[in-house]
Amino acid sequence: MTAAPGTAPEADPKATPEAATAPVRDSPERPARRRGPARQALVLLVPGLLALLLTYALPLVWVVRMSLNESGEGGLIRQTVSLATFGEVLGSSHYGNVIRQTVELGVLVTFFTLVVSYPVALFLARTTSRWRGLLMALAIAPLLISSVARTFGWMAILGRQGVVNKTLDGLGLIDAPLHLANNLTGVVIASTEIYMPFAILAMISGFGRLDPALEHAAASLGAPRRTVFRRIVLPLTLPGVLTAGLLVFVLSLSGYVTPRLIGGGRVFVLATEIYDEAITSLDWPVAAVLSMLLLALFGVVIAVYLWAQRALEARFTGAQEARS
């Protein structure tokens, strides 16, 4: 960014206060000054845009290009432009299963995460206890530990010789160990706990419209507690739940560590499959096609989210206008 002679007056910080207080004398300077803020904003955006271009846009273009190649014998990549690899992947029952299981895992994890996080978030959003700050910190404290470490923790809990099986066995409640790890069940359980802090945070920030006076008003009008929840609390917290749902679903679609470690090689999802194809089989075109499919899945999820959000917002029409 070399300063061209024409831009120098704006760049000079001393020129600004003078221009702000004294009336502008020479008119030629005026139009240049008016463009100033926009140009400055552009300059400020450049580093971020460059970083995005280098780390996101270019690799993405490269992945798109790779997905149009074909894989030859012995890990060779045949440079071409065709949809053959797409056809191969979409036609195979194996990859079909992978996509189905990815979505299934996402749906299950999202459902359970929302169900267990909602009461916690609702409590934290409504409590007036002086411990609120501490409880809030506790709820999101798991984020301080790497999800790899937490996944290993779940392996120790859910495994054949894990805490759960040992306890149940010790109590004589089971004859054979329960299959809690190395399958979808284990991945769902561990993922649910791992995504809870995200869900709780997203919900609390989305519960803004919840005002205790609304619940009091509903009660004073004759609504028992359950009706207050159904008619007032639930509809008003739904936008927060929706946002949390989007976040968890997207996180779980792209989740790699937990399915890999707890799945024990028996849970195949897009993220693990992409890794295997790219690193183990060195079949980059297939890995690229799977990446594109994952991206398409995100697109669908976000489209559904936006549609649902708009449907919800339609019930608050005007609420948006009033706030903006």
Partner 1 sequence: MADTPVSEGHLVLEALAKTYPGKDGAAVRGVDLTVERGRMLAVLGPSGCGKSTTLRMIAGLVEPTAGRIRVDGRDLTDVPVHRRDMGVVFQSYALFPHLDVARNVAFGLEMRGTPKAELRRRVDEALDLVRLGHLAGRRIAQLSGGQQQRVALARALVVKPAVLLLDEPLSNLDAQLRSAMRDEIVRIQRETGVTTVFVTHDQQEALSMADGVAVMNQGRIEQTGTPEDIYERPERPFVARFVGRANLLDGTVSGVEADTVAVALPGLGTVRAAGGPVTAGAATTVMLRPHRIALTGAAPGSGAVRGTVLSAGYAGETVAYRVRVGDAGPVLDVERPTGAHASYGPGAEVELSWDPDAPRLVAAEEGTE
Residues of the shown chain interacting with partner 1 in the complex, contacts defined by CB under 8 A: 209, 211, 213-214, 216-225, 227, 231-232, 235-236, 315-319, 321-323
What are the angstrom distances between the C-alpha of 269 and each of 47, 252, 277, 294, 322? Answer: 35, 10, 12, 10, 44
Which of residues 196 and 233 has its CB atom nearest to partner 1 in the complex?
233
The DSSP bridge pattern shows strands 70-71 and 77-78 to be: antiparallel
Taking the complex as a whole, the smallest distance from the CB of residue 247 to partner 1 amounts, in Å, to 23
Taking the complex as a whole, the smallest distance from the CB of residue 318 to partner 1 amounts, in Å, to 4
Taking the complex as a whole, the smallest distance from the CB of residue 171 to partner 1 amounts, in Å, to 41
Distance CA 200, CA 100 (A): 27
Which of residues 157 and 236 has its CB atom nearest to partner 1 in the complex?
236
Distance CA 123, CA 212 (A): 12
Taking the complex as a whole, the smallest distance from the CB of residue 214 to partner 1 amounts, in Å, to 5
Taking the complex as a whole, the smallest distance from the CB of residue 122 to partner 1 amounts, in Å, to 17
Taking the complex as a whole, the smallest distance from the CB of residue 222 to partner 1 amounts, in Å, to 4
Q: Do residues 91 and 99 lie in contact, with contact meaning Cβ atoms separated by under 8 Å?
A: no
The three-state (H, E, C) secondary structure of the chain, written as one string: CCCCHHHHHHHCCCHHHHHHHCCCCCCCHHHHHHHHHHHHHHHHHHHHHHHHHHHHHHHHHHHHHHHCCEECHHHCEECCCCCHHHHHHHHCHHHHHHHHHHHHHHHHHHHHHHHHHHHHHHHHHHCCCCCHHHHHHHHHHHHHCCHHHHHHHHHHHHCCCCHHHHHHHHCCCCCCCCCCCCCHHHHHHHHHHHHHHHHHHHHHHHCCCCCHHHHHHHHHCCCCHHHHHHHHHHHHHHHHHHHHHHHHHHHHHCCCHHHHHHHCCCCCCHHHHHHHHHHHCCCHHHHHHHHHHHHHHHHHHHHHHHHHHHHHHHCCCCHHHHHC
Cα–Cα–Cα angle for 114, 116, 117, rounded to 5 degrees: 60
Which of residues 12 and 211 has its CB atom nearest to partner 1 in the complex?
211
Which of residues 72 and 224 has its CB atom nearest to partner 1 in the complex?
224
Which of residues 203 and 286 has its CB atom nearest to partner 1 in the complex?
203
Which of residues 27 and 320 has its CB atom nearest to partner 1 in the complex?
320
Which of residues 232 and 293 has its CB atom nearest to partner 1 in the complex?
232
Taking the complex as a whole, the smallest distance from the CB of residue 315 to partner 1 amounts, in Å, to 5
Taking the complex as a whole, the smallest distance from the CB of residue 314 to partner 1 amounts, in Å, to 10
Which of residues 179 and 216 has its CB atom nearest to partner 1 in the complex?
216
Taking the complex as a whole, the smallest distance from the CB of residue 218 to partner 1 amounts, in Å, to 7
Which of residues 6 and 222 has its CB atom nearest to partner 1 in the complex?
222
